[in-house]
Amino acid sequence: MSKNALLVGCGSIGKKHLQEMLPKFETVVVVDISEEALAWAIAEGERVGVAKVEIANSVDEVLSQVPFHVATVANWGPDHVPTIRQLQAAGQKNFIVEKPLADSIADARDILGEVDRAGGKLWINLTRRYSGLPQGILDVAVKHNLGELVGVTVTGGARCIATNGIHYLDLATVLFGSHPTSVTADLANQNINPRHASLAFYEGSVNYNYAGGKRFNCVFLNQSAVTENVKFYWRDAEGEMLPNGDFALRLRNPAEIEQYPAVTRTGYALNEVFRGNLWLTPDGRTGMTALYDSVIAEAGTTEGSRTAEDLLAALHASELGQRLTLPVDESIVDITKHWSIS
């Protein structure tokens, strides 16, 4: 059991955070403007029966209790940075922040520097990187001698390049073991975001290049209600995320490859050699549980924060109609521009 924690925002995502926090802290202070959300938090604390839950309607009310072991910021997306800075000014050092970390590249960069200079740690809730999925996929690939992963593609309906695409961008970055080097995009926005009509909901395509010719491509269509299809490509194999959450791996016919070895003589990957759920870590934890275990152990990481900048760079690339090298050049891009993303 470790110290006290703060949760700012107890909406649908904040509730998941609270359920992870309750077994790990002595006291969790929950801030939300909704009395209904606060009532749920108290009831959930009583149900779990481990941490004590205290409530408040605003961050101002809890500043006297700073510093907390960690402050989880899970409120309205555009309020993430102002909330972090308000808590920092009172002496808070360690943060978990929901995606998006920030809605401008300048803020994403500045927050990193501010936390670091204060001697704190920052975790971004891009939980695929903490789950068993990326390492599980790489381990299956090694077992079947597939060589390097060369591409990840995501296609689907109204899922939003920013809201959901950021999770797949981060997964691709973890799988490739490096950050993207450039981005092109052709995006359009309809204000159909279920969180609020003022928030964008981007459709279209984004294309990220990584070192060694590796690519991540994402296409979402706002006029389709079909969920996304996620595929992973090796030279002679294809992986796929199935509707039930399983990962399936299929290989091409070895005899066919031997007869026609050129990469341009493509063939279908039909031989399924693996199917299983890889989401849990080897010791059975979810990504969010593993994230909070890192917080307790103070094993800080800010790696996921670069993904926020890379995502925002795609919006700039679409607006400018050009390929952008990453990280972006401030002489080309107005990094102070704010985008209405969630």
- According to the model, what pLDDT value does residue 191 have? 84
Separation CA 326–CA 324 (nearest Å):
6
Cα 45–48–51 angle (5° rounding)?
Answer: 55
Mean pLDDT score, 24-40: 97
Cβ–Cβ contacts within 10 Å for residue 221, how many? 15
**pLDDT of 261 higher than 60:** yes
Name 250's bridge partners: 238, 272
39's tokens: 């009532």
Q: What is the pLDDT of residues 80-113, one digit of tens each?
A: 999 999 999 999 999 999 998 999 999 999 998 8
Q: Which of 144, 138, 12, 17 is nearest to 71 (CA)?
A: 17
Q: Which helix (H) or strand (E) holds 24?
A: none
Q: Which of 96, 86, 131 is nearest to 301 (CA)?
A: 96
Collapsed DSSP state (helix, strand, coil) of residue 200: coil
**56 Cβ contact partners less than 8 Å away, ≥ 6 residues apart:** 29, 30, 31, 62
Per-residue CA distances from 112 to 305, 306, 321 (Å): 8, 10, 28
Give the distance, in angstroms, between the CA of residue 172 and the centroid of all CA atoms in the same chain.
11
List the chain domain ranges. Answer: 4-98, 128-342
pTM of the full predicted structure?
Answer: 0.95
CATH class for the domain made up of 128-342: alpha beta
| Backbone angles phi and psi of 121, in degrees to 5 | -130, 150
- According to the model, what pLDDT value does residue 3 have? 87
- According to the model, what pLDDT value does residue 139 have? 98
Give the distance, in angstroms, between the CA of residue 200 and the centroid of all CA atoms in the same chain.
18
CATH number of 4-98: 3.40.50.720
Q: What is the pLDDT of residues 156-215, one digit of tens each?
A: 999 999 999 999 999 999 999 999 999 999 999 988 988 888 889 999 999 999 999 999
* Helix residue ranges, H only, the chain: 12-21, 35-48, 80-89, 105-117, 133-143, 165-176, 254-259, 287-296, 305-320
**pLDDT of 236 higher than 90:** yes
Q: What is the DSSP letter of 335?
A: T
**What's the start-to-end Cα distance of the chain, in Å?**
32
Collapsed DSSP state (helix, strand, coil) of residue 66: coil
In a 10 Å sphere around its CB, with 0-12 CB exposed, 13-18 middle and 19+ buried, how is residue 237 labelled?
A: buried
Mean pLDDT score, 5-13: 96
Cα 80–86–92 angle (5° rounding)?
Answer: 100
Percent composition of the chain: helix, strand, coil (DSSP 3-state, to 5): 35, 25, 40
262's tokens: 């050129």
Residue type, 299: A
pLDDT bucket at 78, cuts 50 / 70 / 90: confident
Q: What is the pLDDT of residues 299-330, one digit of tens each?
A: 766 667 899 999 999 999 999 999 999 999 99
- According to the model, what pLDDT value does residue 285 have? 96
Cα 105–108–110 angle (5° rounding)?
Answer: 105
Q: How would you classify the pairing of strands 52-56 and 122-124?
A: unpaired
**pLDDT of 150 higher than 90:** yes
Q: What is the pLDDT of residues 116-146, one digit of tens each?
A: 899 999 999 999 999 999 999 999 999 999 9
